[in-house]
Amino acid sequence: MSKKKGGRRSKYETHVEPRLFEVECWARDGMIDKDIAKKLGVAYSTFKTYINKFPDLSASLKKGKEVVDYEVESALLKRALGFHYVEELASPMGDVVEVTRYEKPDVTAAIFWLKNRKAETWRNKELVDVKKVKAETNLIEEKTKLIKGETKDTSILDALVEGRKQYEQMMKERENNE
């Protein structure tokens, strides 16, 4: 334990440090930081400060949370892939009989797993082509100037329209090649 020179000891020293093993266990059991702080008798804001200030507390929380994270990850994977399990049932004669059952793969678990583990491939995404957006913005700006009478020269507008046609042709070719 770290002690200050003179004066009273901090709540970390009296309420938290002696219970670091319990903190790890609570984190492993899935308790959130706010509830851990409450169990220790310290304010949540103070607890957050202690996490940043005292490496032992941070390490205890991390170690406890890693265990439960791995367990949840394993359970999620198991649900995503499907699994066999043994169930004990009572027979009409009163005997206990073991029956092997199969839990089908859970599509929701599989989707969740893939979206998190292979996000580049599986996440819901819309690709935004920045060049296309800029070109369309320039085209709209030039059309607006023409309509407002701010310009009489249509060469810029013609060039933008031609550029857009070329871009669309290039994108069609790219799609055909894929």
Walking along the chain (178 residues) 10 residues at a time, the average pLDDT comes out as 67 93 91 94 95 95 88 92 93 91 94 86 73 79 79 72 80 78
- Pairing between strand 83-90 and 96-103? antiparallel
Q: Say if CB 83 and CB 106 are below 8 A apart.
A: no
* Per-residue model confidence as pLDDT tens digits over 140-151: 887 787 778 777
In the numeric block, the tokens 């959130």 are attached to 32
Question: Would 87 be classed as within a structural domain?
Answer: yes
Q: Which domain holds residue 155?
A: 130-177
Global pTM reads 0.47
Q: Are residues 62 and 114 in the same domain?
A: no
- Give the sign of the dihedral formed by CA 115, CA 118, CA 124, CA 125: positive
Q: Are residues 60 and 105 in the same domain?
A: no
Which amino acid type is present at position 175? E
Domain count within the chain:
3
Q: Say if CB 69 and CB 59 are below 8 A apart.
A: no
